[in-house]
Each structure stands twice: as structure tokens, then as C-alpha cells.
Amino acid sequence: MSQRTERRGIHVDQSDLLCKKGCGYYGNAAWQGLCSKCWREEYQRVRQKQIQDDWALAEKLQREEEAAAYASSHSAHSQSTAAQHASVGHFSKFEEKKTNEKTRKVTTVKKFFSPSSRTTSKKEIQEVKAPSPSISRHASFDTDQVSKEFVDFLKNLHKPGRETYKQCRAFLLNMSSKKVCCPPETITVSISYQNKETFLFRQDLGADELSECVQDFYQNLADRLISHFKGSSESVEQVMDQVEKYIMTRLYKSVFCPETTDDEKKDLATQDRIRALHWVTIQMLCVSMEEDIPEVSENVVKAITDIIEMDSKRVPRDKLACITRCSKHIFSAIRITKNEPASADDFLPALIYIVLKANPPRLQSNIQYITRFCNPSRLMTGEDGYYFTNLCCAVAFIEKLNAQSLNLSPEEFERFMSGQTSPQFSSSDSDWPCSESGLGTTVTNPVLVQLNHNLELLTGLCTRQEAVMEAAQSLQADLLTWSDSVQQEVHNILEKYPLEIISKVSAIDANTDNDNLPSPIKPQVFAD
């Protein structure tokens, strides 16, 4: 080729024709002066860059929002730039472009949060929030929402708010980096780490260690906040609640019912246990609730709904709130029945009854999760803590329940457990088969009452249907005999009065019957 170019005398330097990478092969203008091999490599890199770039952009947008939360954005700026370096580091070209873009954006953000605009107008706030949709590409709606609320909440706190936010971020990163740092060769992990919404954990980090990490964090943060707020425990609690909400919403997926524990097995065991105890009646537990009263049964249903709802919440405090609501409904039910405030003597059996009726999903996991990750000050002393403790008691009681605790003989208990008999009938074992009416009075379970009622209705319907069938059949028979008899009758009549046709009767003979006819009308003359 070189000979050819020389021959034609075109001023092309030898080096211009070679691959720009300097690999020694010739390049091609269509491949930006690269040889085919280098071009392919470059192309791949650019594509890779594009992907990374997208990640980085998403991250950057989020960082900007965070930067907004940091109000005085000098520190935030440097931090996010550093992070930017870390994430895109070696792609200097892209980096440059992006940094320009970012500094521009950060300065606008800075403007919003400069001291002069502390009383931010509504419009500005909306502008600040604007980048959030791009984040939700990667974050689930929930986490996104919670993060936003958290940032909004902390904005009002100025310096301690910023401090708190920083610490929370650092903690979350720390928790997730426990996974990332361990196998440095797995790049895929660190990419999803860039995403920052998926926090991965070292699977071998036991649930107790995770719990310890979180609790240590709560403790440290609370101590710091106390010094910030000069001992105003209410504001500290407020902040701690928000922190718990924020952190636990993000950690929920990885720390709820982790694989390292046998929580799931326990869940199933408890579920089966409660199913096996379906026959336990309100009387056996000595619960002072009259379910016949409509208001009471309404409260019972609400209590059951609340305890089941617990599983759907993510934040330990929200789960506690469900237990508290359930308890309040139980108290109402007892209050209506007994007309006096419920003591623990009334409350615990009622709660056990509710748990048995509800069979709440993943009960053990939920209890463990709350125990491990709830802010301890709330769990141990507050009202919520009391109800939670009672729930733990109820579960412990259900697990250990035996004949004695229900005032039954061991034989009876065995029979009920094996499903041979059901307590409703055993109490009136002697009389129920012979007297059907007695059944209705002895049965207290509303479902069974309903069942019996339905059965009665069905029996009634059956007899009535039979009557209808009989009547229909007799009607059919009647119809047949009727048509027969009509036919018979017609036949008889026809036989009795046979049709005789007299052929000339109808013919009129004008000549013969003259006498019978009136005289013909003759014309009369009037006008004469």
C-alpha cells in the first residue's frame, strides 16, 4: 500500500496511515484512524463508558439533592466531587464535562440555601425537588419517599440536621460496604453499590451483629443529639424516630428475616401451631369479652386486622403502632363487656385469643425484627413497649400451651389437638345427636350457629322442593288424564250424535213452499 501512495505522489505521511493507537497496523478513516482491532476495543470501551456514565449521572443527581440538604454546600460540594472522582475516576474526558455541569447545578442549589433564602418560597422548594424523578428510576417509590421526607425534616434543624444526615449516610454506606470491601474483585457488586439504593450485606454477618451495628448507631447518634439539643429529650426523640424510619426503610429488605437466622422456620412452626389450636374457645382462655355484643365483635375484627397489618410495615416503630392499635381495640372490647378499665389479667388472655384468631403472618420474624432494630428507648419503657411485651408473652404462651393452661384434662387436650372431637360438641356430647333443637342453644360459636341455621333452611328448601316435584308430577298426570278424557268425551259425543248430512234440505224450491213465505212487497203509489 505504501508503494502505491508514494507512486501517486500524495502527501500522506506514513505515520498518518498507521493506526492511531500505534499498534503498527494501518488505520482506516471510517474507524477514526484506528485499525479494526483497536477500533473494536475502543468501541467497547465507549459503550462501557456510556453505561457507567448513566450510573454516574443518576448518582450525581441524587448527590445534588443531598447537597441541597447540606445547606452550606462547601463541604457537600467537596464531598460529592470526591465521590464523583471515585465513581468515574479514570474517564477524564467525561469527568471534565460533568464537573462543569455539576458545579453549575451546585451553585444554583447553593443559592437556594444561602442564608438570605432561608425562608425559601414554595417555588424554589419545588425546583429543588425537581431532580427526584430521575432517582426514582433506581429507587423504589417507598425508599425515595422516605428519603425525601427525611431530608425535608432535617432541613428544619440546620446544623444538627446536616450532621445527622451525614452520619446516617455514612452509616448506611458503612453497612453496605461491609459487603463491598470483602470481595474487591467482584465489580458487579460495586456497580450496584453505586446505585446506593440497594444495600447489600455480607451474608455471613449474623442478625445479632447487624442488630448491634444498628443499635450502636442509635446510641451514638442519640448521645450526639443530646448535646446538640441541650438535653431536650423530646426533640431528640423526634429526630431519632425519623432516623429510624429512614435507616430501617432502606435496610428492611436485607435485614428482615435474614437467611442467617432460623426466623423463617420459627414463623412456620408458630403458624402451624396456631392452626392446630383452632379449636380453642374464648371460654377456655377465660377472656372477658362478649362477642355477641355487636360493638365487641366489631372491635375484635379491628384488632385482628391491625395485628395482621403489622407484617406490611417496614419501620419497627410502625409495626409497634399496629400492635398498639390492636391492643386499644381489645381494651375497647373489654371495656364494653365489663364496663371497667381492663387490667392485665383481662388483657393478656384477650390478646392471646386475638393472636389465635388472626394467625398473623411471619409473627416470629416481625417480633425478632422489632427486637433487633427498634430504638431501645421506645421499646423498653413506653406504652408501645408494654403492648409489644404482651405480644411476646402471648406468643410464648401459645408455644407452650398445654392441657393445664386451658383447664382441660390431658386426654381432652389430645383429642382436640388430633382433631377427633371439637369442643363445641363435646360439651353437649350426650344430647346433641338426639335433639336438633338443643344443638342451637348449646353452640356458641357464631359460625356454627350460622351453619346450623343454613342447614335448617336447606332442609326446609329440600322438603318444599319435593312437594313441588310431587305437585308437578300430579299436574302432569292430571294433564294427561284430562286430554284423554276430553278425547273420550269428544269421541262419545261423536258416536252418540253421528253427523248426518241431508243433502236436499238446504235447497230452496221456489215453487213448492210458497205458503210459508210472506207475501211479496208490492210497490205503493204515494204521490197520487
Partner 1 sequence: MATAGASGGSKTFSFKVVLLGEGCVGKTSLVLRYCENKFNDKHITTLQASFLTKKLNITGKRVNLAIWDTAGQERFHALGPIYYRDSNGAVLVYDITDEDSFQKVKNWVKELRKMLGNDICLCIVGNKTDLDKDRHVSVEEAESYAESVGARHYHTSAKLNKGIEELFLDLCKRMMETAQAEERAKGNGASQSASSRRGVQIVDDEPQATPARGCCSG
The binding site for partner 1 (CB under 8 A) comprises 212, 215-216, 219-220, 222-224, 226-227, 230-231, 233, 236-237, 286, 328, 331-332, 334-335, 339-345, 347-349, 376-377, 380-383, 386-387, 389, 392-393, 396-397, 400, 404-405
Nearest to 108 by CA among 77, 148, 80: 77
**Chain centre distance of CA 421:** 37
Q: In angstroms, what is the minimal distance from the CB of 233 to partner 1?
A: 4
State which residue, 82 or 380, has the beta carbon closest to partner 1: 380
State which residue, 236 or 363, has the beta carbon closest to partner 1: 236
State which residue, 101 or 383, has the beta carbon closest to partner 1: 383
Q: Cα(121)–Cα(118) distance, rounded to whole angstroms?
A: 9
State which residue, 409 or 476, has the beta carbon closest to partner 1: 409
State which residue, 114 or 343, has the beta carbon closest to partner 1: 343
- The owner of cell 476495543 is 41
Q: In angstroms, what is the minimal distance from the CB of 326 to partner 1?
A: 13
Nearest to 200 by CA among 212, 210, 211: 210
Q: Cα(372)–Cα(368) distance, rounded to whole angstroms?
A: 6
Q: In angstroms, what is the minimal distance from the CB of 225 to partner 1?
A: 9
Nearest to 354 by CA among 386, 311, 323: 323
Tell me if 300 sits within 8 A of 294, measured CB to CB: no
Q: In angstroms, what is the minimal distance from the CB of 92 to partner 1?
A: 41
State which residue, 224 or 302, has the beta carbon closest to partner 1: 224
Q: In angstroms, what is the minimal distance from the CB of 218 to partner 1?
A: 9
State which residue, 215 or 427, has the beta carbon closest to partner 1: 215
Q: In angstroms, what is the minimal distance from the CB of 174 to partner 1?
A: 15
Looking at the DSSP bridge assignments, the partners of residue 284 are none
Q: In angstroms, what is the minimal distance from the CB of 215 to partner 1?
A: 6
In one-letter notation, the amino acid at residue 95 is E
Q: Cα(398)–Cα(405) distance, rounded to whole angstroms?
A: 10
- The owner of cell 384488632 is 303
Give ∠ CA 16-20-24 in degrees, rounded to 5: 85
Tell me if 65 sits within 8 A of 128, measured CB to CB: yes
Ramachandran bin of 186, using left for φ above 0, alpha for ψ from -120 to 50, beta for the remaining angles: beta
State which residue, 67 or 330, has the beta carbon closest to partner 1: 330
State which residue, 374 or 439, has the beta carbon closest to partner 1: 374
- HSE-CB at 200 with a 13 A cutoff on CA atoms is 17
In one-letter notation, the amino acid at residue 356 is L
State which residue, 18 or 336, has the beta carbon closest to partner 1: 336
Tell me if 349 sits within 8 A of 287, measured CB to CB: yes
State which residue, 144 or 384, has the beta carbon closest to partner 1: 384
Residues 6+ apart with CB under 8 A from 124: 112, 117
Is residue 225 packed enough to be buried (19+ CB in 10 Å), middle (13-18) or exposed (0-12)? Answer: buried
Q: In angstroms, what is the minimal distance from the CB of 337 to partner 1?
A: 13
Q: In angstroms, what is the minimal distance from the CB of 295 to partner 1?
A: 14
Tell me if 379 sits within 8 A of 312, measured CB to CB: no
Nearest to 171 by CA among 233, 228, 56, 248: 248
E strands in 360-519: none
Q: In angstroms, what is the minimal distance from the CB of 349 to partner 1?
A: 7
State which residue, 230 or 504, has the beta carbon closest to partner 1: 230
Q: Cα(361)–Cα(408) distance, rounded to whole angstroms?
A: 28
Q: In angstroms, what is the minimal distance from the CB of 70 to partner 1?
A: 21
Q: In angstroms, what is the minimal distance from the CB of 338 to partner 1?
A: 11
Kindly report the backbone phi and psi dihedral angles of residue 241, in degrees, each rounded to the nearest multiple of 5, phi listed first.
-60, -45
Q: In angstroms, what is the minimal distance from the CB of 370 to partner 1?
A: 14
State which residue, 356 or 439, has the beta carbon closest to partner 1: 356
Kindly report each contact of residues 287-290 with a partner whose C-beta sits within 8 Å and lies 24 or more positions away, as own/partner.
Answer: 287/346, 287/349, 287/350, 287/353, 288/334, 288/337, 288/338, 288/346, 288/349, 288/350, 289/330, 289/333, 289/334, 289/337, 289/350, 289/353, 290/337
State which residue, 100 or 233, has the beta carbon closest to partner 1: 233
Q: In angstroms, what is the minimal distance from the CB of 162 to partner 1?
A: 17
Q: Cα(250)–Cα(170) distance, rounded to whole angstroms?
A: 13
Q: Which three cell numbers stand for residue 285?
A: 382462655
